[in-house]
């Protein structure tokens, strides 16, 4: 444990420390940004971790529905990193089997209270039509990097990996809501980590591990996950969270706007007709 000075803190001390280092203050700024974009947000609620079955607390869950029948659900975790201990994403070219993301499609027949099970399916958007393309750089490891007071290097991934796990586990509830809810259309679930500007770096490698780009600052990065959650009741296929996205605060607004205005065709496929519409000629 870090040794603390034994001098009582004043209100000014507390304000200064919390303004620069509080995760909660950073969460509130991210929440305000998502609110301003029209997302309906839940902030700092509890949920049951699907792996440990323990009570956890998520930072933000955000949902936005927009024409035609698109629903974007974000599981957002915020980490108020400092420039002296930034996050480095180690990236390699994405393989063919990593170039995909899953969606849930639900188009019940009008007037039918119990639609055919084929009308609610997990759909895999893969290859060139996916947002996550073969050959693009994708993260495979996180490191937080800094220096100790004596100059010794410090490398640790535990804190940020914890945020990754929270974003992924919280996303399971959003997947189940899409899989069993009443909102017709195409549903996308994305886990996201948001960090302050100037604290996200990337180091890039080729597919054989040779460095092709020294550490450099970036505003966003994708990280391969490939974790599946069961979606009982809509067929045998599980929903796989293929990627987590990391964004600086500055890129959060431009990223979200690019996804929804108009809908990103790499995230949401071209307009699709359900089977009943084809049969009826609708």
Whole-number average pLDDT of the chain: 88
User: In angstroms, what is the C-alpha Rg of the chain?
Assistant: 21
Residue 231 has pLDDT above 60, yes or no: yes
Check pLDDT > 70 for residue 274: no
Give which of 93, 107, 199 is closest to 140, Cα–Cα.
93
Gap between the Cα atoms of 27 and 183, Å rounded:
28
| Strand residues in 127-177 grouped as ranges (E) | 137-147, 153-156
What percent of the chain is predicted at pLDDT more than 90? 62
Burial profile 9-34: b = 16 or more Cβ within 10 angstroms, e = fewer: eeeeeeeeeeeeeeeeebbeebbeeb
Residue spans per domain, the chain: 39-83+93-140+160-197+219-280
What pLDDT digit, counting tens, does each position of 67-117 carry? 878 999 999 999 999 999 999 999 999 999 999 999 998 887 666 665 554
Question: What mean pLDDT do residues 255-271 have?
Answer: 79
Q: What is the pLDDT of residue 1?
A: 43
């Amino acid at each position: 444990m870090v040794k603390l000075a034994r001098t009582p803190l004043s209100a000014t001390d507390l304000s200064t420390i919390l303004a620069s280092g509080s995760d909660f203050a950073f969460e509130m700024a991210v929440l305000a940004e998502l609110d301003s974009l029209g997302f309906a947000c839940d902030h700092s609620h509890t949920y049951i971790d699907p792996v440990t079955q323990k009570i956890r607390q998520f930072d933000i869950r955000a949902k936005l529905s927009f024409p035609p029948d698109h629903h974007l659900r974000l599981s957002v975790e915020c980490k108020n990193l400092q420039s002296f201990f930034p996050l480095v994403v180690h990236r390699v070219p994405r393989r063919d089997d990593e170039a995909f993301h899953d969606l849930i499609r639900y188009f019940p027949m009008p007037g039918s209270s119990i639609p055919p099970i084929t009308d609610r399916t997990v759909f895999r958007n893969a290859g060139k039509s996916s947002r996550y393309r073969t050959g693009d750089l994708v993260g495979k490891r996180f490191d937080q990097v800094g220096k100790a007071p004596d100059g010794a290097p410090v490398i640790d991934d535990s804190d940020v990996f914890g945020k990754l796990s929270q974003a992924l586990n919280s996303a399971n509830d959003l997947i189940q809501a899409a899989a069993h809810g009443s909102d017709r259309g195409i549903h996308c679930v994305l886990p996201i980590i948001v960090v302050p500007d100037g604290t996200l770096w990337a180091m890039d490698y080729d597919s054989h591990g040779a460095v092709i780009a020294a550490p450099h600052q970036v505003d966003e990065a994708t990280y391969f996950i490939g974790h599946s959650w069961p979606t009982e009741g809509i067929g045998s296929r599980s929903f796989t969270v293929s990627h987590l996205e990391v964004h600086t605060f500055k890129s959060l607004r431009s990223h979200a706007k690019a996804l929804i205005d108009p809908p990103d065709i790499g995230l949401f496929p071209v307009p699709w007709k359900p089977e009943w519409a084809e049969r009826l000629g609708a």
